Amino acid sequence: MDFSSYLCNNFFFRYAYHKTMSTGTLYKDFQKRFKLFVSKRPDLVENTLSNIFTMRLIGNKTHGDLAEIGIAEFIHQFMYDFDSRHVGKDLFRAKEHEEDIVIINELTKEEIPVSLKAYGDGPLQLSTDRDAKMFPKLSEYGNSITDKDTIKEVFRSEAFQSLDSVNVMPLIYREEKKECNIMVFDFDKMKRRTNKILLVKEGYKYDEELKKIVPAKGRTHPIYMFIDRNGKYICEVRYGGAAANALQRGFWTHTKNAFNYFDSLTNGWISYEHNLTLVQLFRLALNSTENGHKNANIILQTDIDNFKQKTR
């Protein structure tokens, strides 16, 4: 029995199951479905990610915007139980969430807002904390928060409630190795494992070997750092004052330093290749007519249909 037949035969069971799920849980269910699908057809996601990261040849930021429409179309074309649409930048000011795409569960018709991030392997912003509530809230508790009940109180506070609805899909790449990974941060695990929250001021850093804060050069704004019981870094809340820019505030983590707090939807790092033909296609598309684009779309859709029917 192939994968599509398996899903179809279990339709009624899955429908009853999904009707009992919350919106937050739906995104986790999507992650499981995506991961299972990729395990069955890794060639599909490898092809899409190769094309997305080829866009870095056009511009360093181009791949991020095109990743949004590329992943939305990937879900639309290939995933049986889900559909997706790109939200569009023109809706930015009206958005309640930090979403770039919306994933639609085809069984329940519930919509899951998702923020797509395309970052190098390193610092990763998970939430902008646009109302600048997190850092001031942590400041109320002083420089060191170690009491378990107090930490739980922090996560239950209004300032941190937004983390319960942050659905982030990070596309992480290692350009020098031409490797990429879709890595999702586990907020629930982070909350369970946080053992202490420490203020790291300007001119200091947290030393994992010494398990304490030591003088260091480079930091210009304070952060609150979340540490697990082994003294390992999990995530951080960056300076939240009015003078801070987008890179100096919000909820951040580090893909290299907090690898154990991520789940890989691609089942690990995958290699990608640059598609120079795609770059040429963009050159031609930008100088051809809409009629030419319509003809090209027919050819491309036929190619996609053949690709997804291909037996590996």
What does each of the 312 residues of the chain score in pLDDT, given as a tens digit?
Answer: 554 554 445 544 444 444 445 555 889 999 999 999 999 999 999 999 999 999 999 988 789 889 999 999 999 999 989 999 998 765 544 455 568 999 999 989 999 999 999 999 999 999 988 888 999 999 999 999 999 999 999 999 999 998 988 899 999 999 999 999 999 999 999 999 999 999 999 999 999 999 999 999 878 889 999 999 999 999 999 987 767 777 788 999 999 999 999 999 999 999 999 999 999 999 999 999 999 999 999 999 999 999 998 865
> Residue 189, exposed/middle/buried by CB under 10 A (0-12, 13-18, 19+)?
middle
pLDDT score of 72: 97
Q: Which residues contact 263 (CB under 8 A, 6 or more apart)?
A: 31, 35, 183, 184, 186
pLDDT score of 6: 46
Taking the C-alpha atoms of residue 241 and residue 132, their distance in angstroms, rounded to an integer, is 7
pLDDT score of 311: 64
Beta carbons of 201 and 222 less than 8 angstroms apart: yes
Partners of residue 226 on adjacent β-strands: 197, 235
| Angstrom distances, CA of residue 242 to CA of 109, 136, 163, 246, 283 | 40, 11, 21, 11, 42
Beta carbons of 144 and 272 less than 8 angstroms apart: no
Q: Quote the pTM value.
A: 0.87
- Structure-block tokens of residue 74: 């990937």
pLDDT score of 248: 81
- Coil/strand/helix, residue 38: helix
pLDDT score of 213: 95
Q: Element (H or E) spanning 145, and its range?
A: strand 144-145
pLDDT score of 53: 95
